[in-house]
Structures are given as C-alpha cells and as structure tokens.
Amino acid sequence: MTNLDSHTPMMQQYLRLKAEHPEVLLFYRMGDFYELFFDDAKKAARLLDISLTKRGKSAGEPIPMAGVPYHAVEGYLAKLVNLGESVAICEQIGDPATSKGPVERKVVRIVTPGTVSDEALLPERQDNLVASIYVENGIYALALLDMTSGRFLINELPSRESLSAELQRAQPAELLYPETFSEMDLIEHYKGLRRRPIWEFELVTAINLLNRQFGTQDLKGFGVEKSIVALCAAGCVLQYAKETQ
C-alpha cells in the first residue's frame, strides 16, 4: 500500500478502502456525489465522458478527480457494467455532526457485469452470465451461472476449440480464469476478464460450496461427481458470486 503519512486524513481513508478493492472502480460518497480519484478518476472520465478535474494536492501532487451525482448513479453504473467494468459503492455511514476527522465510510455494494441482478442495470432480454474456465490434464472446463435466473451449468470439453465455441455461444458478461492460465489468446478479446487466485479452483472447496448451495451431502444426484475439472471451475464461480452479492 502507498505510504499514507503524506496524505490528508480523508485521502488516507480513501486509499485504505481502495487497497481493499484494487481491481474495481471505487465510487466514494462525498455529499451529493460519488467521487473517484487518481487512476480510477482518469478511467471513469474516459469511459463515462465526464470531466476530469483536480482536488488540491496529496503527497505534494495534484489529485485527479471525477464525480457523478448520487441521484443519477444507476445510469452510470449501467454504462460501466455494460463495458465490462466492476464498481465498489462506498457510502457514508457515520454522522458528519459527530465525526472527528473524516466521516466513517464503508463499501456496501459491489456491482459487476456478471453478478448484477438489478433489472435497471441489465440490457433487456439478455442473459447475465458469469463464466469460469479451468484446464487440467488436457481437459477444458466451463461453468456458467446466470445471476438473474439462477441457471447453473457446467461442462467438460475435449479441446481449446470446443471451449472457444462454447464461450462464443454464451457471451458471458464476466469471465473468470485462474492466475496460472496460459492460453490468453483464447479469451483476451472478452470484456469483463477477471484473473483469480488458483486456490479458488481447489476441488475440496468447490465440492463443499456446491453442497452448501444445493443443500446436499454429495453431488451424486447431479451426475457430476466425476467431472473433477468442471467442479473446480464451478467452485470459483460460486465463490465469486458470494463475494459480490
């Protein structure tokens, strides 16, 4: 994390929150606006076509800043998720009248393209799929979760060409892949790519998550207990969905 001592108390708070959510845009509530700072501000200004300004200095340097009105935030969120971006919504939860220093804030909501279920943020008549892929011993696995309908599918495929065809058919809003994945040419053109730590694809964790999700003691009734690679992909999808809800 950046050395916080050279920043103002408010920016120290912002940077701590941002460090907890480094891969997403952080909408930081300040009065009637959600503000973005530093690289987030530059990215949001470009994607949303909003003004990029500066707010004083922190650590001796001008702070890039961009903002959107809180009453219009849903429209901006819809645009961002349709571009494959994820957003953490940070609200003021403390009382400004009694706060000493910056008002207490916390991230209360994370909006991602694949896990958003608010109809106002979804294109009409479009599946809202989050996908996960995993490869082991020449087997290519795909797990698909539709956060809107709850539909959940897993599949094991014999080749990279088969996986490519399934992804083209599904057109997921987000695509999760392990940090060890080495065939990026297969997926680099998709929006909403999410690199995930390899432990999220562990088999035992995946089986436990699936059993808890479906209220079962084992997976024999689903006929998937031997689909080891697909189960690993499925575990990552479920874990991601729980994180972002």
Contact 44, 34 (CB under 8 A): no
> What mean pLDDT do residues 8-12 have?
87
Work out the number of other CB atoms within 10 angstroms of the CB of residue 189.
Answer: 9
Q: Is the residue at 4 inside a domain?
A: no
Q: Residue 188 sits in which domain range?
A: 129-244
Domain match, 102 and 150 both: no
Q: Domain check: are 145 and 230 in the same one?
A: yes
The yes-or-no verdict on residue 65 having pLDDT over 60 is yes
How confident is the model over 208-212, as a mean pLDDT? 87
Residues 83 and 137 both lie in one domain: no
CATH number of the domain within which 200 lies: 3.30.420.110
Are residues 89 and 179 located together in one domain of the fold?
Answer: no
- Tell whether 16 and 93 lie within a shared domain: yes
183 touches 163 (CB < 8 A): no
Task: Convert the chain into a string of H (helix), E (strand) and C (coil).
Answer: CCCCCCCCHHHHHHHHHHHHCCCCEEEEEECCEEEEEHHHHHHHHHHHCCCCEEEEEECCEEEEEEEEEHHHHHHHHHHHHHCCCCEEEEEECCCCCCCCCCCCEEEEEEECCCCCCCHHHCCCCCCCEEEEEEEECCEEEEEEEECCCCCEEEEEECCHHHHHHHHHHHCCCEEEEECCCCCHHHCCCCCCEEEECHHHHCHHHHHHHHHHHHCCCCCHHHCCCCCHHHHHHHHHHHHHHHHCC
More reliable by pLDDT, 229 or 216:
229
Neighbours of 208 (CB within 10 A): 12
Question: What integer best gives the mean pLDDT of the chain?
Answer: 87
What pLDDT, on the 0 to 100 scale, is given for residue 123? 53
The answer to whether residue 118 scores a pLDDT higher than 70 is no
Within 8 A by CB and 6+ apart from 183, the residues are 135, 160
pLDDT at position 98 is: 81
End-of-domain residue from the set 56, 80, 111: 111
Spatial distance between the Cα atoms of 189 and 175, rounded to a whole number of angstroms: 11
The backbone torsions φ and ψ at residue 136, rounded to the nearest 5 degrees and listed phi first, read: -155, 130
Length of the chain: 245
What is residue 125's predicted lDDT score, i.e. its pLDDT?
A: 44
In a domain, 123, yes or no: no
Question: What's the token pair of residue 79?
Answer: 């645009």
Mean pLDDT of 135-159: 89
Considering the domain architecture, whether residues 101 and 154 belong to the same structural domain is answered as no
For residue range 163-208, what is the model confidence (pLDDT) as tens digits? 999 998 888 988 999 999 999 999 999 888 999 999 999 999 999 9
Q: How many domains does the chain have?
A: 2
pLDDT (tens digit per residue) in 71-116: 888 888 988 988 889 999 999 988 877 878 888 999 998 888 876 6
* Judgement on whether residues 228 and 140 belong to the same structural domain of the protein: yes
